[in-house]
Amino acid sequence: MDGYFGSGAANPAPAVPSSAPLARTRRRWLLPLLLCLLTLTVAAAVVSVSRAKAVAAPALRALSDPAPAADGWGPSYVDTRGRPARWDPCAPIHYVVLTAWAPPQGRADVTAALAQITRASGLRFVDDGDTDEVPLRSRSAYQPKRYGKRWAPLLVAWVPPARTDLGLGDGVQGVTVAVALAGRGGGSIVTGQVALDADRRLASGFGPGATEGEVLLHELAHAVGLGHVLDPTQVMYPQTTNSESRYGAGDRAGLAALGRTAGCLPAPPARPLQTSVFEPRP
């Protein structure tokens, strides 16, 4: 599956992804676990106005095909100048966790997965606590009554497939939606949601085999802007392997390129966004 589109301002700008329905399976005798990326496109409302002249930001486009193994990593979205969409590394990324259906070690696995991202990228995460918000395609990126006048925090949730419309179940273990806006300095990821199938329990931690930790590493990397890569030694490979659940050299290079070394990228002001859903090609 692939995501959302939005309309509104002069230049449509795509938002950031999760991953198209691609299988990640540890052993051939295991049922495939699909980790999906829903792409979201919103209005490119980041416009500079000077002397009554508006300058539109370069639009974003989704990269649906995995990056070649030789590249090591690939972004989820780029603008017309080839710059990847990313979070502002000079501001903390706030997140909340839906714990109603989470496994006992779920929160610990989220913390450990985000710590791996921080080590590789320099991105900082702030835990805003638990939430009762359920991940949905219609989730608003701006919810002032729930979260205040700011972009809604990244939502991480274990949820039964019957309680969400993100397409979990039937082998789909994880889905990510990351919302990005086009800007003159490059695409800005401003919020997102990571949903995991609560009805299918995996081993906790980050050991070999299909684990909750590995799914979190894969989906959270989508949430910060990484796409798939055709290198089986990387977590962002479309299929799981029997290796330990930790980022490979290509994953780390991609996270570094999206993090502090790329410099600050102030996010546009929080505001309501109009979005609609689309089904990507398989």
Domains of the chain by start residue, with CATH: 3-46+58-277 (3.40.390.10)
Q: Residue 110 is encoded by which pair of tokens?
A: 């989220």
Query: 217: part of which helix (H) or strand (E)?
Result: helix 212-223
Tell me what pLDDT residue 14 has: 38
Tell me what pLDDT residue 40 has: 60
Helix (H, G, I), strand (E, B) or coil at 270: coil
Residue 59: pLDDT band with limits 50, 70, 90: confident
Global pTM? 0.85
Comparing 61 with 33, which gets the higher pLDDT?
A: 61
Mutual orientation of helices 106-121 and 249-257 as an angle, nearest 10°? 70
Mean pLDDT of the residues in the chain? 82
> Residues 6 or more apart from 50 whose CB is under 8 A from it?
none
Tell me what pLDDT residue 22 has: 36
Q: What is the pLDDT of residues 71-103, one digit of tens each?
A: 999 999 999 999 999 999 999 999 999 999 999
Instruction: Report the pLDDT averaged over residues 177-189.
Output: 93
Nearest partner of 3 among 223, 213, 176, judged by Cα = 176
